[in-house]
Chain A
């Protein structure tokens, strides 16, 4: 199975400041079809995860522009340009290149 490792596991951030989460995979996520199936989810307490980003950097509908995804191969990053109060919760990266699809451990974003 592909292991997904996120850092940091906890990120205290000041409102209006940027935040960054790293996700590293144990092997390349480039699929045989040429796509890289790395996506990001956000989960608030008591809620199901909400999809943010797909195929590294593409936004799902309704996701604010302050969220951006980047990376390639085995190293990926989710950035929030200016953290807002509604951004608190846990962020997960997930790979869908090889089954079983696997998630990172999650990064808890909290406000300082």
Chain B
């Protein structure tokens, strides 16, 4: 089955760290750009990071630049998002998303990150 399964979310205090993971299956993971998109409770969608197929090129939204690091392991079909210096405003459901033909064509169910004291 073609799917993306996120894990690693949870409750963390402001200033803390979390590492999100996304396990891909059912398709050639190494052929796709991958993205992390987040959605704060009751809010819209925000693309926070992307990574090229070989992992050498990465990009970040200004709101997370310098705090978040995206990476991938094509041998293990896994995408990661290392989040440090977390802020209350980072609270959101984080989706792992596959890119194809300039669109987001496959979404995971998401993993919830809550930043609160």
Which A positions have Cβ atoms within 8 angstroms of B? 31, 35, 37, 39, 41, 48-51, 54-55, 58, 60, 92, 94, 96-97, 99-106
Contact = CB atoms under 8 A, between A and B. Distances in A.
Nearest to A101: B47
If over half of B's interface residues share one DSSP class (helix, strand or loop), that class is named, otherwise mixed; here it is strand
How big is the B interface, by class? 20 to 34
A37 to B, nearest CB: 4
A92 B45 contact: yes
19 contacts: A31-B102, A35-B102, A37-B102, A39-B104, A48-B107, A48-B108, A49-B45, A49-B107, A51-B107, A54-B100, A55-B102, A60-B105, A96-B104, A100-B62, A101-B35, A101-B47, A101-B50, A103-B46, A105-B44
Given A35-B102, A39-B104, 7 more contacts: A39-B102, A48-B110, A54-B103, A55-B103, A94-B45, A99-B50, A100-B59
A103 B35 CA distance: 14
A99 B33 CA distance: 13
B101 interface: yes
Nearest to A40: B103
A103 B44 contact: yes
Contacts of B61: 100
Contact of B103 (A96, A99, A102, A104): A96
Contacts of A60: 103, 105
Nearest to A104: B44
B109 interface: yes
B44 A51 contact: no
Contacts of A58: 101
Interface centre among A48, A60, A92, A97, by most chain B C-beta atoms within 10 angstroms, is: A48
Given A48-B95, A51-B105, A99 B59 contact: yes
B49 to A, nearest CB: 9
